[in-house]
A = this chain, B = another copy of it.
Amino acid sequence: MKKSEFTFIGDIATMFATLPHHGFEPIGDDCTVLDMGSESLVITTDMVVEDIHFLRNISSPEEVAHKSLMVNLSDVAAMGARPIATLLSLSLPESAQGEWSEAFMRRYHAESLKVGVALVGGDTTASRDRITINVVAIGRAPKECIKRRSAAKPGDVVCVTGKLGASSKGLVDNMFGDLGTEAARIHRLAQARIAEGVWLGSRSEVRAMMDVSDGIASDIRHIMEQSGVGAEIELSSIPTDYDIRFATTGGEDYELLLSVEATSFEQLANEFEEATGTTLTAIGKIIEGSELRWLENGLPATLDLKGFTHF
């Protein structure tokens, strides 16, 4: 009877598709979008669960706060919107109701301050023995700046911001107690690409966009399915300092995966790097059909690459 997360979400989306939508777009992007006239609101939510997403004896409350906030801000940035506020629900066992929760809140506050997002609501409750955190992030953007997974077209350049793989390599380092590595530090402190998302949102040459949450091998399929296209990815082009498996199937890098109108790509990438200090690297192209082709130096690659599944 056990179902994968994606099947369950698919079933839910189908079940609720016939309900009145009140101006909200159907489920399928990093955020839901509510059309408010010339502006749109985007809203997303993510749950972070002790012993599933973090271990209390390995991750500090500060790191858990950081991660809980960043996964949500990253989803907002992936829509081309500016995050403006969050709501925070905390379920805390007695062992986390004092120092743990205070350290968590101090870091949540510091990161909120850094990116200028308000805390506008939430809930606190007890739990029997494990911590559960739910964050909702709300963003805002001019209507025409909102980017969706469904907008990729054959011929588009597929590209990513920054470098991939550090976060999942760092997760492994953390698990083995190698807390001092560069990857471990990135895993604990990676920042959502907020300024980058807003900048890319403002450019019409950018078509589909999403954040890298489960690894590009899994995430590119969402763009393919929603846009009704295929894709060709060149492994040797993927920007990474680590094993290609971390770079393709590891999540939580908070990088953005996007498709750009091909003739504009080079100019856009230069302007983007100048404006944000972040690189934009071409890793493949959108093709007709529904196939995902992996290439290595132009030849078909044989790696079986699957993204991370939560269940």
Partner-contacting stretch, out of A124-132, A164-172, A218-226: A124-132
Contact with B along A110-146 (1 / 0, CB 8 A): 0011001111111111111010101010101000000
Contact with B along A1-15 (1 / 0, CB 8 A): 111010011011001
Contact with B along A29-45 (1 / 0, CB 8 A): 00110101100010111
* Given A84-B22, A116-B19, A120-B24: A134 and B12 interface contact (C-beta under 8 Å): no
Q: Across the interface, do B123 and A12 meet the contact criterion of CB distance under 8 Å? A: no
How far, in Å, is A66 (CB) from chain B's closest CB? Answer: 16
Q: Is the interface of A mostly helix, strand, loop or mixed?
A: mixed
Q: Which of B37, B91, B101, B138 contacts A8 (CB 8 A)?
A: B101
**Please, how many angstroms separate the alpha-carbon atoms of A119 and B26 in the complex?**
9
A interface, size bucket:
35 or more
Contact with B along A147-158 (1 / 0, CB 8 A): 000000000000
Q: Across the interface, do A15 and B125 meet the contact criterion of CB distance under 8 Å? A: no
**Please, how many angstroms separate the alpha-carbon atoms of A50 and B24 in the complex?**
31
- Chain A residues engaging chain B, CB cutoff 8 angstroms: 1-3, 5, 8-9, 11-12, 15-16, 19-25, 27, 31-32, 34, 36-37, 41, 43-47, 49-53, 84-85, 87, 89-91, 94, 97-99, 101, 105, 109, 112-113, 116-128, 130, 132, 134, 136, 138, 140, 310-311
Q: Can you list 23 pairs linking A and B with CB atoms under 8 Å apart? A: A2-B94, A5-B124, A12-B105, A16-B119, A19-B116, A22-B85, A22-B118, A24-B118, A27-B119, A31-B121, A34-B85, A44-B121, A45-B136, A47-B123, A47-B132, A49-B132, A52-B125, A123-B134, A124-B311, A125-B311, A132-B132, A134-B134, A136-B136
